[in-house]
Every structure is written in structure tokens, then in C-alpha cells.
Amino acid sequence: MTWRRAATALALAALGGLGAGCASLGAGRGGEAATPPAAAASGAAEGFLLVTPQEYEQQSPTLGVVIEIDAPSALKALLEKHLDLVRLGRINRDEVEDSEWARLIDASPAQVRELLQTEGYFAPQVSIERSAGRAQGQPDRVRLKVEPGERARIGRVTLEAEGALERGHAAGEAYARETLAAWLAAWPLAQGSEFRNAAWSDAKASALARLRAAGYATATWVGTGAQVDPETNTVRLFLVADSGPLFRLGSVEIEGLVRHDSETLLNLSGVPRGTPVSEAFLLDYQERIQKAGLFENVSVTLDPDATQAERARVLVRLREAPLQVYTTGLGVSANTGPRASVEHTWRRVFGFAASSRNKVEWGQKRQFWEGEISTHPAEKQYRNLIGGTVENLESDSDTVLSQRLRLGRTQDTQRIERLYFVEGERSRRTTNLGVRSSALALSLNYHGVWRDLDSVVLPTQGFTFAGQGGVGRSRGTNAEDGNFGRAYLRLTGYLPLGRAWYGQARVEAGQVFLGDNAVVPDSLKFRAGGDDSVRGYSFRSLGPQVNGAVGSGNVMYTASVELARPFLASMPALWGAVFVDAGNAADSFSALKPALGLGVGVRWRSPVGPLRIDWAYGREVRQARLHFSVGIAF
């Protein structure tokens, strides 16, 4: 190999490593570096110089080579990036022998065809022209004209699975049949779609990843192929996967436990031994451990030892959260004004597998204590609990003091929350006119939340449904003892509207069923108005007149429609919104007259939930109010 060929090879290697448009690195005659005159001083000191192709062409004492490519813009960019002729054209012309130039020029059409095949063009027309210009003091020019033709389309797809998945499917196993059907249906390259090598590679990778995520953790491709039919300009795809064994849960090995019981973590797995260990199971298990509130830095993985697939090991690595935590807070709400709070969490009460939480909050319009002791999650994530609340709540028309004692059982899963409980409640209402009334109730209740959201913290699509039901017996001031029932529901939906708009709608309704001369504690009845009710009205300001002041009603209905979008594409977390709210509370639905509120707002989609600031006008009161809140109400 001559020194010029060596220099050419070295230059191509350097250009390939540094990327297009970066440098010239050459050895001139006599071993001296070939350096543009304008940078001779610095080049002599450093041994090489990085310049743009345009700067080099302007500075080079030797005329270079101009490469022109006539092709569609996307393909032109591909050829300019990868074609050897283009990359070599950026270096000093005299460093490349004419025979090497001729070889590269002759090889260019074949290399163009190879590059275009990756984009699905298998019959391109390529022509090349060369014009010498050095004799006239001009650079040499090489012109490539590319007509790619029609992009090939996928004619037929053959996708098959071997191994445990195929055997399970043949044996009629439900899990294998569902997995295989879902795997085949998820294949992204449909018959008739355009073929691109990048899409073909992505499809193979995603299909194999989906099979592994279903519990076949060692799945591999036995063979794949893309056969081109030039006559029909179609590509036939062949793929055969070996699923390998199905990994089934055998044991859970835990690292990091110090004070808490391993039984708690086993209960949180939520599935029996022998269950397929899918990626969804691992993620759900990890989320359940995190939601338990006992641990931090949780990681759940599968041991991919194929020889132990029937009794696979799931590895849980974690760190226990501090046993006791005190939290203080300062805040302000448009509903209840400024507030300060102190909260104490104890994650293992007196060494037992139980947690306690006590919170005291003192605000301008609301003062309360709330406490609860609950067992650590048992089988199916159930926890037993006992709790109490004392609350003093002021509104524009009255003050309500209530006390509650609750004994129940709760279950929290990824989509569903359930709470069954027996509750005793007492309330005393004092109006601004000094009129007092009290009531006492004992009830059996069920509360549930169902959600199907793309994100629990920042939802944009899906729905949530909250429902409550209860029956009990009550007595109160100037009333007879009697039975009562209570029902409440709240449905909220989220829907993307086009590329940048998002819609949100809410419907809320409730009713207390009472005898003719029966009463229930005021806290079991309903009022409307406020941040998450009817904006444009103060907190709990909508309801029937009771003893000369706004009180709580036996029925309630509210609805809301909101439209929002980001202000700027460069600020996707900052949204603007317009909304309309309506609703009220009354003694009966026939007497309920909805109050209307409408306005505009700003949303900041923070990591802890949306921060909302709303300006709303209440039609009935002919006044505007400012509302602000953080988070999502379920």
C-alpha cells in the first residue's frame, strides 16, 4: 500500500470516528502535517486541526472535490452522512491518488443502493457524473443523481413461536393461549405497510421484549428474515421465536429487612406460588411495596436462571423507612384559609406489625385532629383499622363540631380502594344567630374508589369513580330515633382532544334518606361550593336555609366541564384552562336550583400533582372569587 493509500484509509477512519463536517487529519510529504495556511502556527504546535468543510475548502491551498447529490431530502441526508465518496471528498484532494478516486466513484452506485435498501428502496436508479476542474482552477465535481422509485411494502408476515409457549398453546392452557394471541396481535408491521430496515429492527426487538415481559424471560429468535420480491416490490417477513420456559413464582428472597416482618412482603405479592412471573407482576409488586409506606428504595427483579424456571426466585431489595417521622407544614387554602399542621407517623407501634398516624391541623376556618392505627397489609392487601376524628369547621353561616370513631377493614390495590367500617358520629351545629342543634348516628358503611388512568398523579386520559353507601340509626335535637341511608357518587373523566387540548368533566351527586321526623349529624349531609365543587362560591356556601342560615341538605348535585391546553410548546407543564361549574344542595332534588360558576385558570403540572389557580364568577352572588388547590380529588 502506498503512502497515499495509507493516508486515505487513515483519513476515512478519522472522518468516520469524528463525524461529518469536522476535520482534516493528514500526513503531507516528508511526514509534515498538511495544515491550512491560516492556522499554520497553531497546527504546527498541535499536530492537527479541526475545521468545518467550508472553512477547509476556503483555506486549502489545493483545490478539493465537490460532491453533489440529487435525491429526495430525507435520502440525501442519509447519503451525505454515510457515503464514503462524500466523506473522502472533505479531505485534501492531493492526498488521494486518481486511481483511488476512480475506485470510489465506480463503487458509489452500489453503496447508494445498499444504503437505500435500509429505507425500503430495492430498485433505485443511480447515475454518476464527474467533471474535472483543476485545470481551470476549479475543484473537481462529482454529481450523483438518485431516483429511489417506490418504497417496498410488506407482502406477508409469518410469525411463529416454539418452546413452552407453543406446547402450552397446543395443550389448551389458558395463559399460553392468551399470551400467544396477544403477542401475534401486537406485531406492528402489518401486511401492506411500508418497509424500512429501522422499523423492521424495532419490531423484532419489541416483539421479543413483549414475549419476555409475559414471563418467558429467556425468549430468543430462532430465525428471522426479510425476503424481497423485486417483481412485486414486496417484502416477506419470517420470524420464529423460541419462548424458552415459562417462569413461575417459586420463592421471594428479601434483602434489607431489619425490623419489619417478611410475611408482610409476602402478603403484598398478591399472587400464589406457581403464578407466571410477568413484567407486569414485578412492577405491580414493587408499587404495592412502595405504597405500603414502610419501605423506600424498593427494587423487585427476577432471577433469570432457566433451570429454576418452574420455581423461579423473585428478588426484593429494599431499605426500611424510619420507624417514626414528625412532619410539620404551613399552607393556605381558598376554602379554609391559612393553616399549620403537625403529623406523626409510627410504622411499628410498640413492636407490633401495625402503623399509626396522628395529625393535628389548626387553620383559620378548620381545626381538627385525626388519628388511625392500622395493621400491616395481610393477605390480598387487607388491613384492619381503628380511627377517630374531631373537627371544628366554620363557614359563612355556621360552625359545625363533629366527632367520629371508626372501626373497619380496608384494601388498597392498583386500581381499586375499598373500605368497610362501622362508625359512630356526633355533631353539633351552631348558626351565626346562636341557634344550636345536635345529632348522633351509628352506621355501617362502604366506600370504594375505582380508577383507570394513564397517570394517577397527572391524568390526561381515563376515569375515576368514587362511590359511598351506608345505613344506620340516628337521633337528635327535636327529632325521633329513626333509620337512615346515605349514598354518594362522583365520576370524573379525562380525555385528550387533538394534539394539544385536554378535556375534563365531573358529575357528583348524593342523598340522605330519612324518615319524616328524623335527623342525622350535619357532617353526613351535603353542601356545595368551593375548589372541588362549584367555583365562584365560597366553601360550603351553597345549601338550603336552616334556622335562618345556609345549612346542609339531604341531596346534592354538581357538575363541571373544563378545557385546557399548554400555553407554549416549550412549557408543556404550564396550562391555561376555561371551565363551567354548576350545582347546589337542597332538601330534595325537586327543590334544588343549580348555581352557575364560570371562569379561567392556570395549571402547573408539578411532580406532586397539578397546582390550580382559578378565577371564577358566581352568577347567583354576582361576585368573582380566586380559588387555588393542589392535587386530584378522588
Average pLDDT estimate for 614-630: 91
Average pLDDT estimate for 570-592: 95
The single-letter code of the amino acid at 325 is V
Beta strands 140-147 and 65-70 are parallel
pLDDT given at position 56: 42
Domains and CATH numbers, the chain: 3-146 (no CATH), 153-242 (3.10.20.310), 249-320 (3.10.20.310), 377-385+406-630 (2.40.160.50)
Report the alpha-carbon distance of residue 78 to residue 298 in Å, rounded: 44
Q: Report residue 225 as a C-alpha cell.
A: 428474515
Does position 25 have pLDDT exceeding 70, yes or no? no
Report the alpha-carbon distance of residue 334 to residue 536 in Å, rounded: 11
pLDDT given at position 496: 95
pLDDT given at position 504: 96
pLDDT given at position 429: 86
Does position 299 have pLDDT exceeding 90, yes or no? yes
Does position 269 have pLDDT exceeding 60, yes or no? yes
Q: What is the pLDDT of residues 166-194, one digit of tens each?
A: 999 999 999 999 999 999 999 999 999 99
Banded model confidence at residue 159, pLDDT cuts 50, 70, 90: very high
Q: What is the pLDDT of residues 510-543, one digit of tens each?
A: 999 998 788 899 889 999 999 899 999 998 899 9
Helix (H) or strand (E) holding 562: strand 555-568
Q: Cell 394513564 maps to which residue?
A: 454
Q: What is the pLDDT of residues 220-268, one digit of tens each?
A: 999 999 999 988 999 999 999 999 999 999 999 999 999 999 999 999 9
Gyration radius of the chain over CA positions: 36
Average pLDDT estimate for 293-299: 92
Banded model confidence at residue 444, pLDDT cuts 50, 70, 90: very high
Banded model confidence at residue 95, pLDDT cuts 50, 70, 90: low
Q: What is the pLDDT of residues 274-295, one digit of tens each?
A: 999 999 999 999 989 998 999 9
pLDDT given at position 135: 59
Report the alpha-carbon distance of residue 179 to residue 181 in Å, rounded: 6
Handedness of CA 299, 303, 309, 312 (dihedral sign): negative
Q: What is the pLDDT of residues 34-46, one digit of tens each?
A: 333 333 333 333 3
- Asked whether the beta carbons of 491 and 507 are under 8 A apart, the reply is yes
Q: What mean pLDDT is reported for the chain?
A: 85
pLDDT given at position 456: 82
Handedness of CA 619, 620, 621, 625 (dihedral sign): negative
DSSP-derived secondary structure for 94-145? GGS-HHHHHHHHHHHHHHHHHHHHTTT--S-EEEEEEE--GGGTS-EEEEEE
The single-letter code of the amino acid at 441 is A
* pTM greater than 0.75: no
Q: Report residue 511 as a C-alpha cell.
A: 342523598
Banded model confidence at residue 380, pLDDT cuts 50, 70, 90: confident
CB neighbour list of residue 355: distance below 8 Å, 6 or more residues apart: 293, 294, 345, 346, 347, 348, 349, 373, 374, 376
- Asked whether the beta carbons of 197 and 120 are under 8 A apart, the reply is yes
DSSP-derived secondary structure for 426-491? EEEEEETT--EEEEEEEEEEEEEEEEEES-SSS-SSEEEEEEEEEEEEEEETT---EEEEEEEEEE
Does position 52 have pLDDT exceeding 80, yes or no? no
